[in-house]
Amino acid sequence: MADMIRCPYCEGEISSTAMKCKHCGEWLQHVDTRQLPPQFSETEIGIARNKSYVWPVVLVVFLYCLYFIPGLIANILFLNDAKRMATKAGQDLPGAGCLTTLLHAAVVFMIVMAVVSIAIFLTVGARYQ
């Protein structure tokens, strides 16, 4: 039986002779997996898998309602942290998708407000010419 090693992409346990990871589907033919050190310790992976972003989503929504710019900054910071933790955990974390959706909604809101502002400016400007 072949030795078992960790996939360099998802940390899943695979055969040392595997050409493709059975967990994440990444091809391994160009990577010598025996020479790669583990990317994260078991403790870091365990902590990342237990992390949730539900309360940060609530905080971001509150900040968006209170002040837009602090909400946008908090959203970006929490989303970056969620992506980093998801990489460690090897899975999506609760609430991370909501942070992405909130950021997309904020960008759409800013675009709509810019278009409305330009339309108002052109309408008012035309009135005084």
pLDDT for 33 equals 46
Domains identified in the chain, total number: 2
Residue 15, strand partner residues? 4
Intra-chain end-to-end CA distance of the chain, in Å: 85
Express each pLDDT in 43-80 by its tens digit: 777 788 888 888 899 999 999 999 889 999 999 999 99
Rounded to whole angstroms, the maximal C-alpha distance in the chain is 85
Same domain? 68 vs 109: yes
pTM of the predicted protein model: 0.59
Instruction: Assess whether 69 and 29 both reside in one domain.
Output: no
User: Where in the sequence is the domain holding 58, given as residue range(s)?
Assistant: 46-127
Determine which helix (DSSP H) or strand (DSSP E) holds 5, and give its type and residue range.
strand 4-6
Same domain, 98 and 83: yes
Contacts 24+ apart (CB under 8 A), 121-129: none
Q: Is residue 71 within a helix (H) or strand (E), and if so which, with residue range?
A: helix 68-89
Same-domain check for residues 70 and 103: yes
Regions of the chain with pLDDT less than 50: 31, 33, 36
